[in-house]
Copies of this chain bind each other. A is one copy, B any other.
């Protein structure tokens, strides 16, 4: 039984597509794989373990930069749980911020939906809101301004 796999096998075993494995190599998230004489990339079970780590972290929404840090910590015996926590905490904060942003959009849309008749008539609070709701700000006069009397 060989423990060496092609990129396709590594992809199937890890859940990371072959395309992305090559991409992660190119951007330096993973080390460049060994190659056969003909140039095929080769992956060990340890490599595949790393790829699964990456896959799971992506599933949790971590950015590639975060994952790079997490991989370093994972391989670093002198890490502290605090270090890991810091990375994860930052991500969690970003997720919560994103969730809040989406929820404010959802809430705003749902409010508009309340007044929408959803029938053949043209009146719709959704369009009305998009067209009028914001108070029009005056054009700011900065720097020079010049007269366009003659145009159009």
Residue of B nearest to A9 (CB): B139
Task: From the candidates B9, B95, B122, B130, name the one contacting A70 in the complex (CB within 8 A).
Answer: B130
Q: Please report the C-alpha to C-alpha distance between residue A81 and residue B123 in the assembled complex, in whole angstroms.
A: 6
Interface residues of A (CB under 8 A from B): 2, 4-5, 8-10, 12-13, 15, 34, 36, 42, 48-49, 52-53, 55-57, 59-61, 70, 73-74, 77-82, 84-85, 88, 91-92, 95-96, 98-99, 102-103, 105-106, 108-110, 112-113, 116-124, 126-127, 129-131, 133-134, 136-142, 147-148, 151-152
User: Could you give 25 example pairs across A and B, Cβ below 8 Å?
Assistant: A2-B147, A9-B141, A10-B139, A12-B139, A12-B140, A12-B142, A48-B139, A49-B131, A56-B133, A56-B134, A60-B130, A74-B131, A81-B118, A81-B121, A84-B127, A85-B113, A85-B124, A88-B109, A88-B116, A91-B109, A92-B113, A98-B102, A99-B103, A99-B148, A102-B102
